[in-house]
Amino acid sequence: MNKYGARRTWSELCQREFASMKECRRAEELTLLEKAGEIDALEFQVPFVLSVKPKITITIDFKYKDYALRERILADRTLRQTYIVYEDSKGMLTRDTRTKLAWLKEKHGIDVILS
């Protein structure tokens, strides 16, 4: 158990361990969406370097291609464009995490969805 009460959880569906039950559930949902063809190229624990010296990194829980997102935004079934989505499961959003997410957007132009 970590200092915020999260317990590491094993997923039979994903065949891996996750930092929390919340992250595990979301990973299983995304895995099922990938199997259904709604998303593609699901990746877990995607690292980004924010600074080399001193070395500062952030690891985002999920990265995937969402085909339906463009359709939901435009409500036009003929336009089927791919969106790359970065998503992070957070039970507690700390000041450190907020700072790193802002830095990630500034340095790499990446917006992260918090779930």
Instruction: Report how many domains make up the chain.
Output: 1
pLDDT at residue number 59: 93
Q: Would residue 28 count as lying in a domain?
A: no
Q: Which of 104, 86, 84, 107 is nearest to 96 (CA)?
A: 104
Is there a domain that residue 10 lies in?
A: no
DSSP codes, 85-99:
EEEE--SS--HHHHH
Task: Give me the amino acid identity at 82.
Answer: T
> Averaged over 57-71, what is the pLDDT?
83
Beta bridge partners of 57: 49
- Report how far residue 81's alpha carbon sits from residue 1's, in angstroms, rounded to the nearest whole number: 41
Give the strands of the sheet with 83-88, arranged side by side.
39-51, 56-66, 83-88, 112-114
Domain hosting residue 50, numbered range:
38-114
Higher pLDDT, 18 or 104: 104
Q: In 3-state terms, what secondary structure has residue 40?
A: strand
The string of pLDDT tens digits covering residues 25-56 is 999 999 999 999 888 899 999 999 999 999 99
Q: Is residue 9 part of a domain?
A: no
